[in-house]
Chains A and B, each alone.
Chain A
Amino acid sequence: MKALDLKLLRDLWRIRGQALAIALVVGAATATFVMSLGVYRSLMETRDIYYERNHFADVFSGMTRAPRSIVGRIETIEGVRHAEGRIIQYATLDIPGRVESIRTVINSVGEGGETDLNRLTLVAGRGPRSSAAGEIVIDEAFADANGFAPGDEIDALIYGTRERLTVVGIGLAPDYIYAIAPGELIPDESRFGIFWMGERALEAATNRTEAINFISMTLERGASEAEVIRRLDVILAPFGGTGAYGRDDHPSNAFVDNELMQLDVMTTTIPPVFLIVSTFLVYIVLGRLISTEREQIGLLKAFGYTDGAIAWHYLKFALAISALGILIGWAAGAWMGRGMTALYTEYYRFPFLYYRISPSIFAIAALLAAGSAVLGAMGGVRTVIGLTPAIAMAPPQPPIYKTGFLERVGQKAGFTSIGHMIVRHIGRWPVRSGITVFGVALSLGLLFSTMQFLDGTNEMLEANFFRAQNQDLTVALIEAGNEEVLHNLASIPGVLRVEATRAASARLRNGHRSERVAIESASSNTRLWSRIDASGREIPLPPAGLMLSGQLAAKLDIRAGDRVEVDMLEGRRIRTQIPVVTTISEYIGSRAYADSVTLERLTRDNSPVGSALLRIDPAAREDILDELREMPIVLGVTERRATLDKFREMIDDNMITMIGFYIAFASAIVIGVVYNSARIIFSERARELATLRVLGYHKQEVGLILLGQIALLVALAVPVGCLTGYALGQSLAAAFSSDLFRLPFAPTRGTYGFSIVVVLVAAALTALIVARRVARLDMVRVLKARD
């Protein structure tokens, strides 16, 4: 081995602590990159392969009822390749020992479970025979959550009649990757199942011989989806079509897309933070190393080493550190990616999960990490090249200090000599001090901006479940009913209040923009249902015209005061124009509201009850749920409490894991930054600190100089970090928002506090490790060595 390389190895070994601290930050950059991009690609590939293999359709539409022959007509639409009709029927289940409402959506399938589109993949048992009454395949998540296996029987209330169903198989399908019951916000596999039943059997059970109520179709390559949807709506209008939609609006697909979008945001925001920090760390550490090795560099040059050879020597130093970081990051990223992917399989139901990180992801991660290290090394390498042998051989002059601005403040504040030492040292190396402040601030910002997601989610829950909803139960009806339903519900013992709400499907248009929505309404004297905007104000329903959520208004490019075209997809299906009176800033979904009179004018029917909101005596909950299960008109019951609990559970599962990762990441940055700054300060000041010891200062007093300086820099970093976190958090929250959710940016003081505490603790522990060196400082040795 060449002597110069030996020097490299020894130098690396000598500053191994610092090298490891930097490698940790590089490792975090690599790990987040590998993890998020790896999971992103894996999830996307899994989805694409699943869609491909199981023929996931491109366009979908529901309808009240249409003859099966309509499918042939639809296939003649230009651009439609293949269409397939099915029956989709909601039903409630009666599982012994379970009081809460358990719902299912039953899909019709051909003989043995075969279909052309949205194909079922069986994981156990067999498909249902087409005309065998009661034979069903149930989805895997529901089976697991409730302990069902082939051969088990389940009692169901389908279309008003009680039936005993037999599980013959377990499977899953691409149109239910993310399965949420109507009116719910998140999946709950124990309370909502996806069933598949033979076509003839379901026709018989729902009284729809040779009829369908749902159609899916694939499109030709290059066909216009918007045009197909337009023509489809026209064809299906007489059959009660509820508005066709593409994959973008398909509930399951939209959630998967949303998740992918969020992963993509993570890939582009988090790793760069680490890369920036590692660049700066390499910059200060190599800069310091080179300045202590001026004499050696001069000597090497005097011996005839070229600038290039010496520059390469120091570049290799940076590369060696980043190589270590890359190895750490690869391993950690692959491991965390597996964990993340496992989390996804809990909420996203795939028959297989294709977790594979392609070599190109590893390679790109390594290139980025090495690139940032080289960039950081550039500053030091430039000084190496600039040194002439003569200058390099002359010992450096004592560093020149000045009294600066802080000084004058200090003088007034009565600084001790030690105070002066601290402040002047910071002022003497402003770039390095700045990098320390910036690095710690970034770490705080990163932690804060990820922690605030919890606040945002809580705020969203708070707004949705506590401020806007006052009901205990929401009772969905099989079809829109009238006052009598309300009376029946009100007469159940324990029911304290009943109110009607309704949601009518419509398509809103503004120019070429169009959105399929449900126009929601409640009785005029409602006490259980209110619209609360993001700032917590209650916004009353306008007496005439629509109120749109901010997201919907933006999608339609409509402002309050504009008129919007309404195609009703229910009732008498009228088409009209109506003013948008107000918009409301909300977190969940794109929604439209009208008061009951306005909605009735739009639907022109006489059935104002779509679902009922109930306030109940908690003691009577079980009896009420039993009673509701017996009512044929009831499609399902949603409990506010249960939804909330499920949401909380999901947050605990998901977010806590993520937050654990981010605490680790933020600590990695703090350790990397504080350890390196402290070590550099220590090595620069070792002689001074030893001198103070000689003069009779105690270890603690001398340690204070080191700790005081770090503490001052970290203290400066706290406000900077809060500002950084505020900005980063705000833009992350915005980037994470989609059609489905608008994540509020609503950080609490606790989040500021928690992030600050984590950073301070990490900084304090790291600084203490370095401060221990002060205690071990060998006065005699340090004083003997010339700088």
Chain B
Amino acid sequence: MAETTTNRDRSTAQPAFRATGLRKTYDMGETQVHALRGVDLEIGAGEVLVLLGPSGSGKSTLLNIVGALDRPTAGQLWYEDTELTALNDHALTRFRRAHVGFIFQFYNLIPSLTAEENVRLVTDIATDPMPAAEALELVGLGDRRAHFPAQLSGGEQQRVAVARAIAKRPHVLFCDEPTGALDSKTGIKVLETLANANAELGATLIIITHNAGIAGMADRVFNFLDGRIASIEVNETRIAPSEISW
């Protein structure tokens, strides 16, 4: 994979997301849980970002808000020139439909649909998708198209989820612990497909993980603590997924 730009260039290029003062508070009656306590950030287009941090520090909360699955209690969020925090539900759905791919720890495939049909779920509603079969080829599952989730291993299921996420040629891919349920070998395979999507489709990649080794493949690493970004590390060079020490 040829590195033509430096990481610093990437992070200062036209930002994909911009947020100021994001807060998320869960009201639990007596007590309040402050999941996010004021987050400002910029995420560059085409950047690879890894979120690290202890359990409960607010990583998923941030990812869900940036991915338009959830709304912040306070703060503002822009995607390019659109203020996402000002959109209604319908418009947020349109935003996800047009720009965003998701990958979760537990695959979230539809058990009643085959691998190919799971991918078609997305290509059916996208504007310029790749054929479902091609997406499955990209993740190395071209020959398993007609199989149902129950007939696939965990790693294979996650690769179908990746195929489903990249098939629409998304601008951003959100991954919440994509390798959390996988062994190292399978995990690396999944990360490779994600890295390919970043390189070949130019998709911004945001990955939550508990595996500090994965941080090596990022341009930048956000370290979360207690609902805030405690520190940001910038990697001078990214390593390939195959070189990650698990």
| Residue ranges of A at the interface with B (Cβ–Cβ < 8 Å) | 397-402, 416-417, 420-421, 424-425, 428, 687-688, 691-699, 779-780, 783-784, 786
User: Which of B5-13, B73-81, B96-104, B202-210 has 4 or more CB atoms under 8 Å from chain A?
Assistant: B96-104
Q: B24 to nearest A CB, angstroms?
A: 10
Q: In the complex where A694-B102, A779-B69 touch, is A420 in contact with B113 (Cβ < 8 A)?
A: yes
Q: Are A399 and B150 in contact (CB under 8 A)?
A: yes
> Which residues of chain B from 62 to 79 have a CB within 8 Å of any chain A CB?
64, 69-70
Q: Are A420 and B89 in contact (CB under 8 A)?
A: no
CB neighbours (8 Å) of A786 from chain B are 106
Q: B174 to nearest A CB, angstroms?
A: 9
Q: Are B111 and A398 in contact (CB under 8 A)?
A: yes
CB neighbours (8 Å) of A696 from chain B are 93-94, 96-98, 100, 122, 125-126
Q: A692 to nearest B CB, angstroms?
A: 7
In the complex, residue of chain A having the shortest beta-carbon distance to the beta carbon of B123: A417
Q: Are B98 and A417 in contact (CB under 8 A)?
A: no
| Residue ranges of B at the interface with A (Cβ–Cβ < 8 Å) | 60, 64, 69-70, 89-90, 93-94, 96-98, 100, 102, 104, 106, 108-113, 117-118, 120-122, 124-126, 148-150, 164
Q: Are A698 and B90 in contact (CB under 8 A)?
A: yes
Q: Are A399 and B111 in contact (CB under 8 A)?
A: yes
In the assembled complex, 6 residue pairs joining A and B whose CB atoms fall closer than 8 Å, in A order, are A688-B111, A693-B93, A695-B122, A696-B97, A696-B126, A698-B90
Q: Are B113 and A421 in contact (CB under 8 A)?
A: yes
Closest 4 pairs (CB-CB, A-B): A696-B97, A424-B112, A398-B111, A696-B96
Separation of A425 and B112 alpha carbons in the complex (Å): 7
CB neighbours (8 Å) of A693 from chain B are 93
Separation of A688 and B100 alpha carbons in the complex (Å): 18
Does more than half of chain A's interface fall in helix, strand or loop, or is it mixed? Answer: helix
Q: B155 to nearest A CB, angstroms?
A: 15
In the complex, residue of chain B having the shortest beta-carbon distance to the beta carbon of A694: B102
Q: B28 to nearest A CB, angstroms?
A: 14
Q: Are B93 and A400 in contact (CB under 8 A)?
A: no
CB neighbours (8 Å) of A784 from chain B are 60
CB neighbours (8 Å) of A699 from chain B are 89, 93
Q: Are A401 and B112 in contact (CB under 8 A)?
A: yes
CB neighbours (8 Å) of B150 from chain A are 397-401
Separation of A401 and B112 alpha carbons in the complex (Å): 6
CB neighbours (8 Å) of B121 from chain A are 417, 692, 695
CB neighbours (8 Å) of B108 from chain A are 687, 691, 694, 783
Given contacts A401-B111, A780-B64, 16 further A-B contacts (CB under 8 A): A397-B150, A398-B109, A398-B149, A399-B150, A401-B112, A401-B150, A417-B120, A417-B124, A420-B113, A424-B112, A428-B112, A691-B110, A696-B100, A696-B125, A697-B125, A783-B104
Q: Are A401 and B93 in contact (CB under 8 A)?
A: no
Q: Contacting A400 at CB < 8 Å: which of B69, B117, B126, B148?
A: B148
CB neighbours (8 Å) of B113 from chain A are 401, 417, 420-421, 424
Q: In the complex where A401-B111, A417-B124, A780-B70 touch, is A695 in contact with B98 (Cβ < 8 A)?
A: no
Q: B86 to nearest A CB, angstroms?
A: 19
Q: Are B117 and A417 in contact (CB under 8 A)?
A: yes
CB neighbours (8 Å) of A399 from chain B are 111-112, 150
In the complex, residue of chain B having the shortest beta-carbon distance to the beta carbon of A784: B60
In the complex, residue of chain A having the shortest beta-carbon distance to the beta carbon of B164: A695
The CB with the most chain A CB atoms within 10 A, among B90, B106, B108, is that of B108
Separation of A425 and B148 alpha carbons in the complex (Å): 13
Q: A428 to nearest B CB, angstroms?
A: 7
Separation of A399 and B109 alpha carbons in the complex (Å): 12
In the complex, residue of chain B having the shortest beta-carbon distance to the beta carbon of A424: B112
CB neighbours (8 Å) of B98 from chain A are 696
Q: A131 to nearest B CB, angstroms?
A: 92
Q: Are A780 and B69 in contact (CB under 8 A)?
A: yes
Q: A32 to nearest B CB, angstroms?
A: 39
Separation of A779 and B70 alpha carbons in the complex (Å): 8
CB neighbours (8 Å) of B69 from chain A are 694, 779-780
In the complex, residue of chain A having the shortest beta-carbon distance to the beta carbon of B104: A783
CB neighbours (8 Å) of B109 from chain A are 398
CB neighbours (8 Å) of A697 from chain B are 93, 97, 125
CB neighbours (8 Å) of A401 from chain B are 111-113, 148, 150
Q: B55 to nearest A CB, angstroms?
A: 13
Separation of A697 and B96 alpha carbons in the complex (Å): 9
CB neighbours (8 Å) of B117 from chain A are 417, 420
In the complex, residue of chain B having the shortest beta-carbon distance to the beta carbon of A690: B108
CB neighbours (8 Å) of B111 from chain A are 398-399, 401, 688
Q: Are A698 and B93 in contact (CB under 8 A)?
A: yes
Q: Contacting B124 at CB < 8 Å: which of A397, A416, A688?
A: A416
Separation of A428 and B104 alpha carbons in the complex (Å): 25
CB neighbours (8 Å) of B149 from chain A are 398
CB neighbours (8 Å) of A397 from chain B are 150
Q: Are A688 and B110 in contact (CB under 8 A)?
A: yes
CB neighbours (8 Å) of A400 from chain B are 148, 150
In the complex, residue of chain B having the shortest beta-carbon distance to the beta carbon of A415: B117
In the complex, residue of chain A having the shortest beta-carbon distance to the beta carbon of B67: A694
Separation of A658 and B154 alpha carbons in the complex (Å): 59
Separation of A400 and B152 alpha carbons in the complex (Å): 11
Separation of A330 and B118 alpha carbons in the complex (Å): 51
CB neighbours (8 Å) of A420 from chain B are 112-113, 117
Separation of A697 and B100 alpha carbons in the complex (Å): 12
CB neighbours (8 Å) of A428 from chain B are 112
In the complex, residue of chain A having the shortest beta-carbon distance to the beta carbon of B146: A403
The CB with the most chain B CB atoms within 10 A, among A398, A400, A688, A698, is that of A398
Q: B211 to nearest A CB, angstroms?
A: 20
Q: B121 to nearest A CB, angstroms?
A: 5
Q: B128 to nearest A CB, angstroms?
A: 14
Q: B143 to nearest A CB, angstroms?
A: 17
In the complex, residue of chain A having the shortest beta-carbon distance to the beta carbon of B149: A398
Separation of A397 and B111 alpha carbons in the complex (Å): 10
Separation of A564 and B167 alpha carbons in the complex (Å): 89
Separation of A428 and B148 alpha carbons in the complex (Å): 13
Q: A456 to nearest B CB, angstroms?
A: 46
Separation of A10 and B96 alpha carbons in the complex (Å): 37
In the complex, residue of chain A having the shortest beta-carbon distance to the beta carbon of B90: A698
CB neighbours (8 Å) of A687 from chain B are 108
Q: A705 to nearest B CB, angstroms?
A: 10
Separation of A400 and B148 alpha carbons in the complex (Å): 8
The CB with the most chain B CB atoms within 10 A, among A402, A694, A699, A779, is that of A694
In the complex, residue of chain A having the shortest beta-carbon distance to the beta carbon of B101: A695
Separation of A695 and B126 alpha carbons in the complex (Å): 10
CB neighbours (8 Å) of A417 from chain B are 113, 117-118, 120-121, 124
Separation of A202 and B158 alpha carbons in the complex (Å): 102
Q: A417 to nearest B CB, angstroms?
A: 5
Separation of A696 and B68 alpha carbons in the complex (Å): 10
Separation of A105 and B148 alpha carbons in the complex (Å): 83
Q: A701 to nearest B CB, angstroms?
A: 8
In the complex, residue of chain A having the shortest beta-carbon distance to the beta carbon of B119: A417
CB neighbours (8 Å) of A398 from chain B are 109, 111, 149-150
Separation of A694 and B118 alpha carbons in the complex (Å): 13
Q: A411 to nearest B CB, angstroms?
A: 11
Separation of A61 and B100 alpha carbons in the complex (Å): 94
CB neighbours (8 Å) of B96 from chain A are 694-696
Separation of A397 and B110 alpha carbons in the complex (Å): 13
In the complex, residue of chain A having the shortest beta-carbon distance to the beta carbon of B118: A417
In the complex, residue of chain B having the shortest beta-carbon distance to the beta carbon of A428: B112
In the complex, residue of chain B having the shortest beta-carbon distance to the beta carbon of A421: B112
In the complex, residue of chain B having the shortest beta-carbon distance to the beta carbon of A687: B108
Q: In the complex where A420-B112, A424-B112, A687-B108 touch, is A695 in contact with B148 (Cβ < 8 A)?
A: no
Separation of A398 and B106 alpha carbons in the complex (Å): 12
In the complex, residue of chain A having the shortest beta-carbon distance to the beta carbon of B94: A696
Separation of A688 and B107 alpha carbons in the complex (Å): 11
In the complex, residue of chain A having the shortest beta-carbon distance to the beta carbon of B89: A699
Separation of A421 and B113 alpha carbons in the complex (Å): 6
In the complex, residue of chain A having the shortest beta-carbon distance to the beta carbon of B168: A696
CB neighbours (8 Å) of B125 from chain A are 695-697
Separation of A529 and B208 alpha carbons in the complex (Å): 93
In the complex, residue of chain B having the shortest beta-carbon distance to the beta carbon of A787: B106
